[in-house]
């Protein structure tokens, strides 16, 4: 069979590698004109995601471009420590630690692997239409034809949309799906050197500020990666961030001032309860099917798991519609559980003065529950040898 994948971000390339592994011919179509090497800030590939990459033989290449996270620490607007999660044993327990990596570096590593394995990627292909044949697949025939804004068309036996929150695949093939919901929070990020940040390398530190949420990760080379989640506003980004954090620990405004380029904003959306992840010979994967708040730290890793599970279902069930239904049945309970946890985490970021007072006092309890949920998510593995039913 021949597979057509829409999207060359994270989920699409990982799916392409898995489908090639089971013997399929694979083609990837990407709307961007080239690799997304200037988009986004950074992310964490959790141990469960690294496990998927390890099974493909590429986890080491990703780890070399990133940095292990050994702990999470939490403080409030006054700078008082209010919680800690020790993740120093993750590599021993799960095979890999949480790996912090620039998004551009992850895209580049995956693209290099596609090129090495001779999987073609067609850039500048924005999906505008899909036609599915009702006839059985015959020798030389293809069940799906995808049309693109540049006038090109591609045929395959099935199509998988790995094209993210604003999925063209979802809009074209499952138009009755709900639209993503805006959470009310904007995400900004950046990379800086110079200001003294009271966080040791290898630790993700989170600050529950008076008006917004701020996170930092410092690399062994002394570069600080940071992100901000906070309410929208009309002021220019740097001015807006400085205002939101003016009553927070002084190193936060200093870090914002020292950042050459403020990245973003990225409005944070959630995509809850898509009625079905497939229709006929077309399926959705990753954020196209189940976008969630970044609070879970699992977006990229869940897309990687999706890719492995979908490949296993196609390997064992062969007929794409049946494989797609089995894929959704096996994946939805886990995705829904992590989605709800991400919602709970996100609601604590900007709760208002009264909510913040209660949050700061209850956060040690929340941290214990959060650590347990995190460990459960990290420990998940797909048994590639088990037959999908």
The whole-number average pLDDT for the span 372-378 is: 92
The whole-number average pLDDT for the span 105-134 is: 96
3-state secondary structure of 152: coil
| pLDDT digits 0-9 by tens, 271-329 | 877 999 999 999 999 999 999 888 789 999 999 999 999 999 999 998 999 999 999 99
Evaluate if residue 39 carries a pLDDT over 90.
no
Beta-bridge partner residues of 222: none
Domain boundaries, the chain: 2-180+271-379, 181-269
Beta-bridge partner residues of 86: 71
The CA–CA distances, whole Å, from 249 to 17, 261, 339 equal: 45, 21, 31
The whole-number average pLDDT for the span 10-20 is: 98
Between CA 123 and CA 34 the distance in angstroms is 6
Nearest to 271 by CA among 170, 185, 187: 170
CATH superfamily, with its number, for domain 2-180+271-379: FAD/NAD(P)-binding domain (3.50.50.60)
- In this structure, the strands spanning 224-231 and 213-218 are antiparallel
Task: Tell me the pLDDT band of 73, cut-offs 50, 70 and 90.
Answer: very high
The whole-number average pLDDT for the span 124-129 is: 98
**pLDDT value at residue 158:** 97
Between CA 307 and CA 301 the distance in angstroms is 10
Mean pLDDT check: name the lowest of 107-111, 152-156, 208-212, 363-367. 363-367
| Contact in structure between 228 and 187 (CB atoms under 8 Å) | yes
Task: Tell me the pLDDT band of 347, cut-offs 50, 70 and 90.
Answer: low
Evaluate if residue 195 carries a pLDDT over 80.
yes
| Contact in structure between 3 and 157 (CB atoms under 8 Å) | yes
**pLDDT value at residue 45:** 98
The whole-number average pLDDT for the span 45-63 is: 98
**pLDDT value at residue 238:** 97
Mean pLDDT check: name the lowest of 200-204, 267-271, 283-287. 267-271
Between CA 262 and CA 241 the distance in angstroms is 10
Query: Which of the given ranges, 333-342, 360-369, 372-381, has the highest pLDDT on average?
Result: 372-381
Which residue is listed with tokens 């699992």? 298
- Residue 199: DSSP 8-state: S
181-269: CATH topology = D-Amino Acid Oxidase; Chain A, domain 2 (3.30.9)
User: How many CB atoms are located within 10 Å of the residue 232 CB?
Assistant: 11
**pLDDT value at residue 345:** 66
pTM here is 0.93
| Contact in structure between 158 and 3 (CB atoms under 8 Å) | yes
**pLDDT value at residue 82:** 86
Evaluate if residue 222 carries a pLDDT over 70.
yes
Between CA 82 and CA 364 the distance in angstroms is 6
């Amino acid at each position: 069979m021949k597979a057509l994948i829409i999207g060359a971000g994270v989920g699409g390339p990982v799916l392409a590698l898995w489908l090639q592994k089971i013997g399929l011919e694979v083609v990837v179509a990407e709307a961007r004109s080239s690799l997304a090497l200037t988009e986004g800030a950074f992310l964490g590939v959790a141990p469960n995601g690294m496990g998927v990459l390890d099974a493909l033989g590429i986890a080491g290449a990703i780890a070399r471009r990133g940095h292990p996270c050994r702990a999470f620490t939490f403080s409030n607007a006054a700078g008082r420590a209010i919680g800690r999660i020790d993740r120093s044993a993750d590599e021993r327990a799960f095979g890999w630690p949480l790996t912090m990596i620039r998004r551009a570096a992850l895209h580049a590593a995956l693209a290099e692997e596609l090129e090495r394995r001779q999987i073609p990627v067609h850039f500048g292909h924005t999906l505008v239409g899909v036609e599915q044949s009702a006839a059985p697949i015959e020798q030389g025939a293809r069940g799906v034809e995808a049309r693109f804004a540049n006038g090109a068309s591609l045929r395959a036996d099935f199509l998988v949309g790995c094209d993210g929150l604003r999925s063209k695949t979802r809009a074209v093939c499952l138009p009755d799906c709900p639209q993503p919901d805006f959470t009310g929070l904007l995400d900004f990020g950046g990379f800086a050197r110079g200001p003294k940040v009271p966080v040791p390398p290898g630790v993700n530190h989170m600050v529950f500020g008076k008006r917004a949420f701020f996170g930092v990760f410092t690399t062994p080379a002394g570069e600080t990666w940071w992100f901000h989640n906070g309410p929208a506003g009309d002021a220019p980004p740097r001015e807006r961030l400085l205002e939101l954090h003016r009553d927070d620990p002084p190193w936060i405004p200093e870090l914002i001032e020292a950042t050459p380029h403020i990245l973003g904003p990225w409005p944070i959306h959630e995509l809850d309860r898509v009625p079905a992840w497939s229709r006929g010979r077309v399926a959705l994967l990753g954020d196209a099917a189940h976008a969630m708040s970044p609070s879970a730290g699992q977006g990229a890793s869940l897309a990687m798991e999706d890719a492995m599970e979908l490949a296993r279902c196609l390997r064992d069930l062969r007929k794409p519609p049946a494989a797609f239904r089995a894929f959704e049945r096996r994946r939805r309970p886990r995705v829904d559980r992590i989605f709800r946890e991400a919602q709970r985490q996100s609601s604590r970021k900007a709760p208002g003065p009264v909510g913040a007072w209660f949050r700061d006092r209850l956060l040690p309890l929340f941290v214990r529950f959060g650590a347990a949920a995190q460990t459960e998510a990290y420990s998940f593995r797909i048994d590639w040898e088990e037959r999908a039913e």
